[in-house]
Structure 1
Amino acid sequence: MSFAPVARRRGTTAQRVQGALLVLPAVLPAALVVGGGIGATLLQAFGLMPVAGPAVARADAFLAHPRELGAAVIVSLAVATVATLVAVVVGTVAAVVIVSGRIGSRLIAALGATTVTVPHLIGAAAIGLLLSDAGVLPRLLGIPPEAWPAWVGGPLWGAVIAEFAWKESAFVALVVTGTLATRIATYDETAALLGAGRWRRFRHVLLPLTMPSIVICAAISFVYALGSYEVSWLLGRTYPEPLPVLAVRLFQGVSLDSRPEAAAVALITCAIALAFVGGTFAALRRTAVWR
């Protein structure tokens, strides 16, 4: 996958205006909702839209809990990164198996389609019942609770990562399968006729041509894992808290002074997510495949 700059294909002014008008009905409502939410959060974080009292511009909310905020950023980035990597690997392999049409491909496709429809809240409850020290899996294996690893509420956030990886791998498999079902299948057949083996076809044909879809799926999965509240709250530790759990706890605090602090945490989460998405698309726009 090369990131060397390539020549841009520029359309005419009329074509660009027509394209902008076509996407405007979908972009405008989304921009208003997202922009309005981020704008209100920004004003509240800097004290310009207080719940009570005069509006005074200040940045005290960002410095109120420096240790908790730093730990929350590290935990959120670690969980989202590991879960996304696992989901991308598992989902890509599952997509290749589904497209190959071999034995078990229909079963994997059915399992993936079913997994996508399961809400994350139900998935988190299922993972908790499966991996807790008194859950279904240790009982089936006959392992006593004291000998079972701390998947739920443990220091490595194993249950949280497992839930995100399980759910997002099905999403990655669904998107990559759709990409592989296009003309890429013809390229794969051509490479096979020329004598390329399975590994060489995957490495030199399938992977480069599906890389934009894989990277976009990874960005979506990362952003969702970064900002998801219910999974981390149900399956994670009480300290350190991920960013969304910390934001909700501060927002639900008894003191109204914690509202700007919650807005500051939410704003930092948005900034990390937007920076990751912006970096992803900046890298993709420099690839020949994206063009």
Structure 2
Amino acid sequence: MRPVLLLAPACIPVALVLGAGLGTAALQALGLMPLVGEPALSAGAFTGQADDLARATLVSLWIAAASTILAVIVGLAAGIAIAARGRVVAVLAAVTVPVPHLIGAAAIGLLIADSGLLPRLLGIEGSQWPQLVGGPWWVAVILEFAWKESAFVAIVVAGTLATRIEGYSDLAATLGAGRATRFRLVTLPLAAPALAAAAMITFVYSFGSVEVPLLLGRPYPEPLPVLAVRVFSSIDLASRPDAAAAALVSSVLSVTVLAIALVLARRSSLWR
């Protein structure tokens, strides 16, 4: 019980705040806490915008999955480089992490937009440059998340490998293992638990982020968090249940994905 008691002062207030927020959103989405009219149990906030919720869910899943995969690949490579005393990579990762996502989104937009710095340096006309910002594949949003979160993944992986990889890797090399074999049998198993935890955090954050898709994405279809914020900001108070429904779907999906990932990770031999 000692770890539980030590964590309780931090976890209890967070649980109360989150529980109150999600409970209020659930009551509003089900029509039991309306701002206008009489309370009445109803699923109209979900069924009335079912198509928009489905499209928004697919967009959010695509952004989060693509961003997580890229961040894990780049972060793993950077983490291995940092563990091998790559000081330049370590400094770049440490500088990237505290940069706010809003500033990162603005930088990505100024870099790869059709009138941005990159096409000007390459001498490509804006009409010939691919639509990376506000395009159908959400490339700019995915690149921003991958860039920012790969630094986080790198630091987590490097912290795990820093005190463990050298001895095992030297032993494997002494036994005749090549670089590819050492990566497959030594580095990857040692980094797997930290990599899985960082990937879960990256996925959930990318799935629930608002500012980056709002700044770099397209107006329609929009991710679930952007849909919830847009509807919540409407002057029509009767649309608040729709906003609560979108926010609730986003939260439930995030928790579900996180729970499934934790179960699969716990059952993995690499985790043990």
Same fold (TM over 0.5): yes
> 2:261 corresponds to which residue?
280
Aligned to 1:257, the other structure's residue is in SS state helix
In the alignment of these two chains, the number of paired residues is 272
Q: 2:170 aligns with which of 156, 164, 189?
A: 189
> 1:88 corresponds to which residue?
72
Cα shift at 1:24: 1.4
> 1:53 corresponds to which residue?
37
Q: Which amino acid aligns with 1:210?
A: A
> 1:201 corresponds to which residue?
182
Aligned to 2:40, the other structure's residue is in SS state coil
Determine whether 1:271 maps to 2:252: yes
- Measure, in 2, the Cα distance between the counterparts of 1:71 and 1:136: 32
Cα shift at 1:214: 0.6
- Report if aligned partners of 1:98, 1:177 keep a CA contact under 8 Å in 2: yes
Q: 2:12 aligns with which of 13, 21, 28?
A: 28
Determine whether 1:72 maps to 2:56: yes
Q: 1:111 aligns with which of 86, 89, 92?
A: 92
Aligned to 2:127, the other structure's residue is in SS state helix
- Report if aligned partners of 1:216, 1:280 keep a CA contact under 8 Å in 2: no
Determine whether 1:256 maps to 2:237: yes
> 2:117 corresponds to which residue?
136
- Measure, in 2, the Cα distance between the counterparts of 1:266 and 1:185: 45
> 1:121 corresponds to which residue?
102
- Report if aligned partners of 1:95, 1:177 keep a CA contact under 8 Å in 2: yes
Range moving further from structure 2, 170-179 or 63-72: 63-72
Cα distance, 1:260–1:58 mapped onto 2, change above 3 Å = same
CA RMSD for the aligned pairs?
1.1
- Measure, in 2, the Cα distance between the counterparts of 1:114 and 1:166: 12
Q: 2:220 aligns with which of 224, 236, 239?
A: 239
- Measure, in 1, the Cα distance between the counterparts of 2:42 and 2:20: 21
Cα shift at 1:119: 0.2
- Measure, in 2, the Cα distance between the counterparts of 1:275 and 1:92: 25
Deviation digits for residues 228-275 of structure 1 (CA, Å, limit 9, x no counterpart) = 111001100111111111111110112111100000000000011001
- Measure, in 2, the Cα distance between the counterparts of 1:259 and 1:249: 10
Q: Which amino acid aligns with 1:174?
A: I
- Measure, in 2, the Cα distance between the counterparts of 1:215 and 1:191: 24
Moved over 4 A (4+): none
> 1:10 corresponds to which residue?
none
Aligned to 2:237, the other structure's residue is in SS state coil
- Measure, in 2, the Cα distance between the counterparts of 1:109 and 1:22: 32
- Measure, in 2, the Cα distance between the counterparts of 1:186 and 1:25: 39
> 1:63 corresponds to which residue?
47
Aligned to 1:147, the other structure's residue is in SS state coil
Identity of aligned residues (%): 54
- Measure, in 2, the Cα distance between the counterparts of 1:68 and 1:126: 30
- Measure, in 2, the Cα distance between the counterparts of 1:183 and 1:108: 19
Cα shift at 1:47: 1.1
Q: What TM-score do the two structures reach when normalised by structure 2? A: 0.97
Determine whether 1:98 maps to 2:82: yes
Q: Which amino acid aligns with 1:57?
A: L
- Measure, in 1, the Cα distance between the counterparts of 2:175 and 2:222: 54
- Measure, in 2, the Cα distance between the counterparts of 1:186 and 1:279: 34
Alignment of 1:135-214 (within 5 A): 135-214=116-195
Aligned to 1:253, the other structure's residue is in SS state coil
Range moving further from structure 2, 56-65 or 159-168: 56-65
Cα shift at 1:288: 3.7
Cα shift at 1:283: 1.2
- Measure, in 2, the Cα distance between the counterparts of 1:113 and 1:194: 35
Cα shift at 1:174: 0.6
Cα shift at 1:37: 1.2
